[in-house]
Amino acid sequence: MMRRLWQSAMIGLARSETAKSFMQNSRATSFLRGKYVAGESVAAGCERAVSLFERDGIRSSMFFMGEYVDDPALVDETLRNKMNIADAIGGHQLDIHVSVDPTQIGHVIDPERVQEHAQSIAERIRQLAGHRDGVHCLMFDMEDASLVDPTIAIHNTLQDMGLPVALTLQAYLRRTREDIGRQLSRGSRVRLVKGAFAAGAKLAFQSNSEIKDNSRQLIELMFSAPARSSGFYPIIATHDTALQDVAIETARRNGWAPGEYEFEMLLGVRENVARDLSAKGERVRVYVPFGRDWWPHAVRRIGENPKNAMLLIRSLLQ
Ligand SMILES: Cc1cc2nc3c(=O)[nH]c(=O)nc-3n(C[C@H](O)[C@H](O)[C@H](O)COP(=O)(O)OP(=O)(O)OC[C@H]3O[C@@H](n4cnc5c(N)ncnc54)[C@H](O)[C@@H]3O)c2cc1C
């Protein structure tokens, strides 16, 4: 119940145009942008991806920010930026891993167009990187529960077309066990997250401990023998070191070597943990957001860490 209330408050703040315009223009909040966002431009995003790789061998998943976009011009700008970042990091011979929210490429305006838009990005990735090693793909982020079916359907269609795609699934949803089961048999790439959304008890686990328990069980499934034989690629996206340890232990027990799966974390969150994992030989990726609309991304990070909420309140009061 508490988690649901808290997440709903964060989602409300993320979607409020008034909060966004105030926070994005206030000096008091600029520390959040500096911490969680690489910068405004494709060049800034690319520079961060190059430095993460050169310094610590950490790969990147590039995310031009924005969500629930209802302005066609902004959808076009988002698409251009997704293409440009794929070109830019591909030019540095890095993995081309581009994250996308369906609601930023047209779902709000015309759900029928989302597939066409996603397909154009995935085709560009294949054209740029299909011939070279790496985990190149268009990664579908997962938004609220109403978007799970349409997102999986587009992912599956593009995957059946032979395009490089990957899918995020959320441990807070009860249905995810079955969704992962179906993706296992497709040999997909799946990024497991706890979930930054909330839903009623019929659809979702309500407490953090239930979500963590479910995450453990899903990790077991993602590193199972059927997963291995189908060519499934597990991506464990969490800052929770206990879950990272569960993934490593399960991987070893079932014969998976580092590089046959990966960990993913967010830019600016527990960076020492990401560096340590990479230094131990694990494959690590960092989600690198860039662009102008940083408040919805940052407010979720505030929600995940009470210390950030205190820092924000203090800077606003100064
Ligand atoms: C790469 C990536 C992609 C994601 N994509 C999606 C998506 O598509 N859809 C979706 O619903 N959610 C997504 N998420 C968010 C995810 O669902 C969780 O809300 C978020 O990762 C927090 O959960 P956690 O597993 O890190 O565990 P938590 O229990 O929240 O955190 C684990 C530990 O990390 C610390 N920590 C967490 N956040 C911070 C912070 N900001 N600063 C400092 N310490 C912190 C906590 O204090 C705690 O000690 C994504 C997360 C990652 C890492």
Give pLDDT tens digits for 158-167.
Answer: 999 999 999 9
- What pLDDT score was predicted for residue 210? 97
**ipTM here:** 0.97
The segment with the largest mean pLDDT, out of 99-113, 125-139, 275-289, is 275-289
Rounded CA-CA distance 60/64 in Å is 13
The number of the ligand 1 atom at minimal distance from the alpha carbon of 265 is: 53
Pick the CATH number of 41-290 from 3.20.20.220, 2.60.120.10, 1.10.1040.10, 3.40.50.1110: 3.20.20.220
The count of residues in the chain is 318
- What pLDDT score was predicted for residue 310? 76
pLDDT band of 204, cuts 50, 70, 90: very high
Please tell me which residue, 256 or 2, carries the higher pLDDT value: 256
pLDDT band of 130, cuts 50, 70, 90: confident
- Rounded mean pLDDT of 204-222? 97
- What pLDDT score was predicted for residue 24? 82
The C-alpha torsion from 57 through 195 and 240 to 276, rounded to 10°, is 0
Instruction: State if residue 141 touches ligand 1 by the CB under 6 angstroms criterion.
Output: yes
Instruction: State if residue 273 touches ligand 1 by the CB under 6 angstroms criterion.
Output: no
Helices 72-91, 112-129: axis angle to 10 degrees equals 10
| Residue ranges per structural domain of the chain | 1-37+294-318, 41-290
| 310 CA → ligand 1 middle, Å | 18
Q: What is the pLDDT of residues 233-242, one digit of tens each?
A: 999 999 999 9
pLDDT band of 300, cuts 50, 70, 90: confident
pLDDT band of 290, cuts 50, 70, 90: very high
| 127 CA → ligand 1 middle, Å | 32
pLDDT band of 174, cuts 50, 70, 90: very high
- What pLDDT score was predicted for residue 261? 98
- What pLDDT score was predicted for residue 309? 75
Instruction: State if residue 170 touches ligand 1 by the CB under 6 angstroms criterion.
Output: yes
Question: If you average pLDDT over every residue of the chain, what do you get?
Answer: 93
- Residue 313 scores a pLDDT above 90: no
The number of the ligand 1 atom at minimal distance from the alpha carbon of 237 is: 53
- Least Cα distance to 46 among 101, 99, 92, 97 occurs for 92
Question: What percent of the chain shows pLDDT beyond 90?
Answer: 76
* CA 100 to each of CA 3, 51, 113, 157, 306: distance values in angstroms, whole numbers, following the listed order: 26, 22, 14, 16, 27
Q: Number of C-alpha atoms within 13 angstroms, CB side, residue 135?
A: 25
Instruction: State if residue 246 touches ligand 1 by the CB under 6 angstroms criterion.
Output: no
Instruction: State if residue 56 touches ligand 1 by the CB under 6 angstroms criterion.
Output: no
| 197 CA → ligand 1 middle, Å | 11
Please tell me which residue, 180 or 11, carries the higher pLDDT value: 180
Instruction: State if residue 287 touches ligand 1 by the CB under 6 angstroms criterion.
Output: yes
Neighbour count for residue 116 (Cβ, 10 Å): 12
- What pLDDT score was predicted for residue 19? 83
Give exposure, 207-222, as e/b (b: 16+ Cβ within 10 Å): eeeebbebbeebbebb
The number of the ligand 1 atom at minimal distance from the alpha carbon of 301 is: 41
Q: What are phi and psi of 172, to 5 degrees?
A: -75, -20
Map residue 2 onto helix, strand or coil: helix
| 153 CA → ligand 1 middle, Å | 25
Q: Which among 11, 59, 193, 236 is the best mutation to test ligand 1's pocket, defined by most ligand atoms within 8 Å of the CB?
A: 193
* CA 37 to each of CA 33, 101, 239, 266: distance values in angstroms, whole numbers, following the listed order: 5, 17, 17, 10
Instruction: State if residue 196 touches ligand 1 by the CB under 6 angstroms criterion.
Output: yes
Q: What are phi and psi of 288, to 5 degrees?
A: -110, 100
- What pLDDT score was predicted for residue 212? 98
- What pLDDT score was predicted for residue 312? 74
Q: What is the pLDDT of residues 12-60, one digit of tens each?
A: 888 888 888 888 888 878 888 889 999 999 999 999 999 999 999 999 9
- Residue 318 scores a pLDDT above 70: no
Q: Is 165 left (phi over 0), alpha (psi -120 to 50) or beta?
A: beta
